[in-house]
Homo-oligomer: A and B are copies of this chain.
Amino acid sequence: MKFLIIGGDAAGMSAASRARRNQPQAEVTVLEKTADVSYSACGMPYNIADPARPIDDLVVRQASVFREKQGIRLLTGHEARHIDPAGKTVSGLRGPDQPFRFSYDKLLIATGASPLLPDKPGFDLPGVMVLKSLADGGKIKAFLASRPVKRVVVIGMGYIALEMAEALCARGLQVDMIKPRPEILPWLPGEMAQDVRAEIARHGVNLYPGNEIERIEAVGSGLAVCGPDVTLNGEMVLVAIGIRPNSRIAAEAGLALSVQESIGVDKMLKTSDEHVFAAGDCADAVHVVSGRRVWIPLALRANRAGWAAADNVFGDQQTLQGVAGTAVFKVFDLAVARTGLNAAEARQAGFDPVDIMIESRSRAHAHPGSSSIKVSMVGDRKSGRLLGAQMVGREGVAHRINAPAVALHAQMTVSQFAQSDLAYAPPFGPTWDPLLIAAHQLVKKV
């Protein structure tokens, strides 16, 4: 059995390792266009924050380990260009111009996603950076090490942009952030987004939401991000306005695409071609709350889908439940977390949502060191179901979000969730956990 994998990042290498471990007789080949495999992409902002740490600290497993210890035929510098589903081959280029062609019995597309770049002047200037691959991270570190950078303009205010703002501040740089939409983190209730905004501002970052960007210009030895109302100067510009799935190779092979042009897969990770699977940031998933197809590219799903695809390639029947869209990120001293749907998403998904927001404390009454935790929770008036939760706070947010996440998988009602026996000790929360306070408020309204 020839198992061919396009893409050697989280999903691809998870699949390759799993296949080799469980199917020692299989021939497992991975085509990776870059030189890097198996690194902690999410760790890049934290690595960039520290000039003393080499970017390679983020490599979890060297290519040689996959090759020599695991027996995976891992071909770096191999860019797949075309899939021929009828002939069951993949062709492409090794190096700049050496063509290759491989045949497969089963194929896994794990091509990931690419950062979005606006089609506007100046986004190709030197010093304009994106952050997706390890090479991107290395490039940013090298740039900061070799130039007298004092100010960085970050375009975008999503979680990568915010994590990078923190990282750049940690290096003593002045950071300005700009984006066209007026709201920061529009999926958060306004008051909670306002807390995030205050936290960023408190660390000296200037925020310019609601400002269009027309072009980037080279100005002296630096760059200027120019819009109709604002011009921001810096020696480096980071563009972090989102990503898109690398699905063109799949579309050109006639495979069905799904939401936001991600590759459509069933619960067994199979595409519209029965010999072709897709996993990771390039593929869609079912949302456990709405039951609808969504594209929520996150690391855990990529790893999990890689595993499941590898199992299914060899005849297993591993079905994935789907995603709840559970995520957390750190913004300076705040953590922001979410799971499931917010009210607007719930309405769009056909629910009759009602949401509440409560403020509580991270530790018990009278326990020193306590700080604010805000919880927003969404329920469905028709069914009473819990639909989602969002949280912001200085401590106790990251893992607390997992309780409602599990409740979403179990399709619990708000009332059932409100009865959960959660842990209590004064250093870790009030007797009524903020989640339970929120659930009790919400029960009254659903």
Interface on A for B, CB 8 Å cutoff? 10, 40, 42-43, 46-47, 50, 57-58, 60, 288, 298-301, 303-304, 320-330, 335, 337, 339, 364-368, 396, 398-407, 409-410, 412, 416-417, 419-429, 431-433, 435-436
Contacts and interface: CB of A to CB of B under 8 A. Distances in A.
A424 B339 CA distance: 11
Nearest to A396: B399
B299 A43 contact: no
Chain copies in the assembled complex = 2
B43 A421 contact: no
Contacts of A298: 424
B339 A421 contact: yes
Contacts of A57: 366
Given A40-B431, A42-B364, 8 more contacts: A326-B423, A327-B425, A398-B399, A398-B427, A398-B429, A399-B399, A402-B433, A410-B410
A405 B424 contact: no
A303 B432 contact: yes
Given A406-B407, A410-B406, A416-B409, A47 B422 contact: no
Nearest to A338: B423
7 contacts: A40-B426, A46-B368, A330-B427, A398-B429, A403-B406, A404-B406, A410-B410
B303 A431 contact: yes
Q: Across chains A and B, which 6 residue pairs bring their CB atoms closest together, nearest first? A: A410-B410, A398-B428, A328-B423, A402-B403, A399-B399, A324-B421
Given A323-B421, A405-B421, A365 B43 contact: yes
Nearest to A304: B419
B398 A409 contact: no
A338 to B, nearest CB: 8
Contacts of A366: 40, 43, 47, 57-58
A394 to B, nearest CB: 13
Contact of A406 (B301, B364, B399, B417): B417
A364 B400 contact: no
A15 to B, nearest CB: 15
A332 to B, nearest CB: 11
B288 A421 contact: yes
A433 B403 CA distance: 13
Given A42-B424, A326-B422, A403-B406, A431 B398 contact: no
A339 B432 CA distance: 17
Contacts of A420: 324, 402, 405-406, 409
A365 B410 contact: no
B398 A46 contact: no
Contacts of A325: 421
Nearest to A329: B425
A421 B326 contact: yes
A423 B406 contact: no
Contacts of A326: 421-423
B403 A423 contact: no
Contacts of A425: 42, 327-330, 398
A300 B424 contact: yes
Contacts of A435: 402
